Chains A and B, each alone.
Chain A
């Protein structure tokens, strides 16, 4: 059996390489099929990686209380008509909620930062001393501000790694004064490096200030959200409770609609999974289509191959080949074409993935690659079956007579 297998493989290679162009053209569908499925896998792996790191920045155990739902597609005027989230909710929530571990108000706006002649346009955040609990980033240098600094409106700031790099380079930023919209703040801490959120927005170029100072200097009436840290294992209960607490704070009667929103990173995940399904769906559709087209092509070329070698089949039978041996010879040939095509597709995908990796961190998934090769072999078996069966059952006399 194994001898026949080796012999068949040798015959197949000869047959494939004897008709290089023809084999290549018919196998193109398989090449594209493998290429598209593996590239899709690469893309998703990259997205997963970016998403993971982005999500870790957001924190899975945080409820975000704000005026609008993420991804809800609410009209802006609807959102505007809702009451604002206010600083005094922080204490009210702490008072009423059993699950809330910490509550941080967060206000955000754009501002220009400068140090000597260096300038940067970035986002600044006003928050309280518990903010570090609600993000997963740590302090790399210095410290965060205290409750007292917040209350007293101290002009201190914790800056992102990107700002620290841009303004101070290798020098120690702690104790230096930077200007935020022309007002001096003392740098007391630097956050560790984060990378880019969803691969686009840098979170390393930010400055965090105490909410007291933020409100006094920049805006009293900006948009505010609350980040409420709750126990990870009690997310659902916490969410239910938070709705009740907020309805109470807002004085809503039963039957009245919520005029606030509570978001979780899960919403990002849902949204992200939908995106992933869309990408995978497209990828699989292209793959399926090219495999079908490729499979039909292979079947066709195998019929031609059987026809061309009718006489050879007769001779082989005359010198002792059984039907099974002939069948396996031709099946082997179509599996060989498909496997080579699959490997070519995989090689192309690998080259592409190296290229993609240059600007979008991602890897070619190994299991998917193996599946892709197995899949192309399966196409070889399926599309080679009927032609091989026909070859095996040719009448030896007719075949020997065939011109």
Chain B
């Protein structure tokens, strides 16, 4: 059974009376422990698709099943719970809370998961350690480099041990060295059994994935497997 199953998904915006089809009939199955890259030109619907998969957005029509369950009929707390425990988000712009330390940023998903203070600190430091930031626990985002910030964001995404990591252009704002460090972390996560879905413009980033789909005007125009 597919972990994620999209059937004939449309996302249509109405801008000034004109229809914009951000997603135009997407059919897509993603299996457990797949390493998937989504590519395509700007405005082709990559982020919209990611948000849909991450249960942040709802389709105009079509059926989305997450682990075999219809997402459309879930209520707010069920969706929040999926985003909290099953999915970890990594954004292009990091999206860390500027006033909170690295450790505190990583602890936030644990707060929403209702995990005790003591365990929280341990889990957060473990997660930061796993991305090589054991010595930056008490730094605030503006005291960290871009690559370090993105690593904090990854630590935040994986602290609740989700099975799926969604990364929307995770290296888009980074220099190539920091970018490849991030990709190494994602590769490791994949090796440990996680499902990785990432959006990228860069071919060498996409090369890390085992499957690439290309979007154009909200449609899947290519779906190819490649040897790692």
Contacts and interface: CB of A to CB of B under 8 A. Distances in A.
A322 B84 CA distance: 10
B56 A318 contact: yes
A320 B81 contact: yes
B67 to A, nearest CB: 16
Nearest to A322: B80
Interface of A: 1, 3-4, 6-7, 14, 18, 311-312, 314-325, 396-397, 400
B109 interface: yes
A3 B116 contact: yes
Given A4-B114, A311-B95, A319 B84 contact: yes
Nearest to B108: A319
Interface string B178-195: 000000000000000000
B56 A320 contact: no
Given A320-B85, A322-B77, A397-B56, A315 B51 contact: no
Contacts of A4: 111-112, 114
Contacts of A400: 56, 91, 95
Given A322-B77, A323-B76, A397-B57, A3 B117 contact: yes
A319 B117 CA distance: 18
Looking at chain A's contact residues, is the secondary structure mostly helix, strand, loop, or mixed?
A: helix
B89 interface: yes
Interface residues of B, number: 29
B156 interface: yes
Contacts of B111: 3-4, 7
Interface string B67-106: 0000000001100110111001101000101010000000
B113 interface: yes
B51 to A, nearest CB: 6
Contacts of A312: 97
A320 B117 contact: no
B190 to A, nearest CB: 21
Report which residue of B54, B56, B114 has the largest number of chain A beta carbons within 10 angstroms of its beta carbon.
B56
B89 A319 contact: yes
29 contacts: A3-B114, A3-B117, A14-B99, A18-B99, A314-B95, A315-B91, A315-B97, A316-B108, A316-B112, A317-B83, A318-B89, A318-B95, A319-B83, A319-B89, A319-B109, A319-B112, A319-B157, A320-B83, A320-B84, A320-B109, A320-B160, A321-B80, A321-B112, A322-B77, A322-B80, A322-B112, A324-B77, A400-B56, A400-B95
